[in-house]
Every structure is written in structure tokens, then in C-alpha cells.
Homo-oligomer: A and B are copies of this chain.
Amino acid sequence: MRIAILGTGVVGKALGQAFITLGHEVKMGSRDAKNEKALAWAKEMGPRASAGTFADAAAFGEIVLLATLGAANESALTSAGAANLRGKILIDTTNPLDTTGGGPPKLAVAGNDSGGERVQRLMPEALVVKAFNTVGAPHMFRPDFAGGPPDMFICGNDPGARKKVASLLADFGWGVVDVGGIESSRYLEPMCIAWVLAGIHGGNWNQAFKLLRK
């Protein structure tokens, strides 16, 4: 499949490499078609990787992953273009982090709204699915934990899109916990902060959620 990654940070690179490893084609999008990080990444990843603008990537991808900093979501998506995202699965991996306080991050959007809902409102014709927001980049692909696989919590309004993302997550080595519509981002984004606080207080970032079931 053709995969677009919007964003050139550690999450974008980790997910891009994962899709390349699984045999997909990946275009990494950024503000500038000549973004050095994106070009260097594509060169390193080989012939199935490429780089371009947000719009180039979104046009290319059959599935698009939003992996910008949460605060940059709106401008990245606007640059990507609604027409390039229409009818496509848009995986929102971001969290609306407020890191201005000096202490641990808080949520800049919470309560009766969420980052995931904002993405969906901004791109109403995209099939937004929240995923990859409750674990750190090093463990997004083939997570290796005793007692695993861990579970990725996902939500999104389109059941078919959730099912497709669940299938991709299985390819990545994850179990999946489906918590319904995109409004449930209100509960998954706080789980990111719980994960961060557990890392801070436990002194260990090699951690991932699982929902034990019987």
C-alpha cells in the first residue's frame, strides 16, 4: 500500500520505517519539499521511501498518518489539503500536549473536546482513527514485552476504518482495544499523560498498556 506520513519527527520516522519494513511504499511529508530530515530519511530507507510536501504525501497515500506535534496539526492538515484526504483513513497519532508549564506535559485540549475530534472536525471527509498515541515511538513497531503483545487503544467514527487500522496494528504486532467513535479521544489522550507520568515516576519508558481480558 501507499502510506503518507505527515511529520518528520521520531514518531513519523519510526512509523515510516515500520511500513517500509512491512513492504509498503511511504512518502514522508513536511512543510518544505526540500526538508533535509525527510530527504535524508528517504535516502536511508531506500527505493520504497520518498519525501515531499504535506500535500504531495497526502495525495500519494492511500492511508495517511498524522505524526506532527499536536500543536501543528491544523497547519499540517490544511497544507495537506482536504481534497487529498477525502475518503481516506487518517490515523491521528498525536496528542494535544501543553508543555509550557515546565513540569510534566498537560493536555491543551481536554474535557468536552479532544485533539482527535479537532482533527475530525478539520477534515470532516477523512476517516479519522486515533491510534499510536498511548505509547512511545521506540515501541510502536513489533513491541517486545514479556506478557505481550500490548494493546493499542483506538477510536474513530467509521467502523470499517477502525477495522482496517486494527488489521494494520496486528501487522505491527499489537493487540487492539476498540473504544468506539472519535469522541473517545477524550479518554485516550489522557492515557498518554498517564503513560508519561508512569514513566516519570517509575523511571522507565519501556512500557506499554495492555487490557487483560478473560
| Chain A residues close to B by CB (< 8 Å) | 104, 107, 110-112, 144-148, 150, 153, 155, 177-180, 184, 186-191, 193-195, 197-198, 200-202, 204, 206-214
Determine whether the beta carbon of B179 is less than 8 Å from that of A187.
no
Given contacts A184-B193, A184-B197, 16 further A-B contacts (CB under 8 A): A104-B180, A110-B186, A145-B212, A145-B213, A146-B214, A147-B147, A148-B212, A177-B194, A177-B202, A180-B200, A186-B190, A186-B193, A190-B191, A204-B213, A209-B210, A210-B210
Nearest CB to that of A212 among chain B residues? Answer: B145
Residues of chain B contacted by A178 (CB below 8 angstroms): 198, 201-202
What's the dominant secondary structure at chain A's contact region?
mixed
Q: Which of B146, B179, B195, B197 contacts A197 (CB 8 A)?
A: B179
- Nearest-neighbour CB distance to chain B for A16, whole angstroms, equals 25
Nearest CB to that of A193 among chain B residues? Answer: B187
Q: List 19 A-B contacts (CB under 8 A).
A: A104-B180, A111-B111, A145-B212, A148-B212, A150-B212, A178-B198, A180-B200, A184-B193, A186-B190, A187-B194, A187-B197, A188-B194, A190-B190, A202-B213, A207-B211, A209-B209, A209-B210, A209-B211, A210-B210
